[in-house]
């Protein structure tokens, strides 16, 4: 599991939405406040919308809002939404590393670390992140 810009920007955008729940937020506003490329953030939010983590509203006052309360969105759901290919990457890495003499030992350790990390992300909600619970 590698935390990349896509995950970081998704979380920054979701934190911004969480702190501004009284209205729909335009991508351009989040991008400006967080210094993120508008086009990149649009792609991230399209993915979050397909995963039903955010919902879009249209019209002059349109934008994005959380699709459900922040305490019902886990960090695991966000990671899986924006980086679903991680499982394939991990399997490919395992095949490559297992070719080495002690590769299986290393792979076993790395998969335990990865699984513990993902398990932890299932227990942390967006609300927990914001309020440091």
pLDDT of residue 4: 83
Mean pLDDT of the chain: 88
Entry pTM? 0.83
pLDDT for 86-111, tens place per residue?
666 666 667 777 777 777 777 788 88
pLDDT of residue 101: 76
Nearest to 13 by CA among 59, 50, 53: 53
Q: What is the CATH number assigned to the segment(s) 5-131? A: 1.10.10.10
Give, in degrees to the nearest 5, the angle at Cα 127 between 74 and 110.
40
List the chain domain ranges: 5-131
pLDDT for 43-81, tens place per residue?
999 999 999 999 999 888 889 999 999 999 999 999 999
């Amino acid at each position: 599991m590698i935390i990349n810009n896509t995950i970081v920007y998704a979380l920054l955008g979701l934190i911004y939405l969480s702190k501004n729940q009284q209205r729909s937020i335009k991508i351009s506003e989040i991008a400006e406040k967080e210094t993120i490329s508008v086009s990149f953030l649009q792609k991230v939010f399209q993915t979050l919308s397909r995963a039903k983590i955010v919902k879009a509203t249209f019209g002059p006052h349109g934008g994005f809002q959380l699709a459900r309360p922040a305490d019902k969105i886990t960090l695991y759901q966000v990671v899986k939404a924006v980086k679903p290919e991680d499982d394939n990457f991990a399997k490919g890495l395992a095949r490559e590393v297992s070719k080495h003499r002690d590769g299986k030992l290393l792979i076993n350790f790395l998969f335990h670390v990865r699984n513990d990390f993902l398990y932890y992300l299932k227990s942390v909600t967006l609300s927990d992140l914001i309020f440091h619970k």
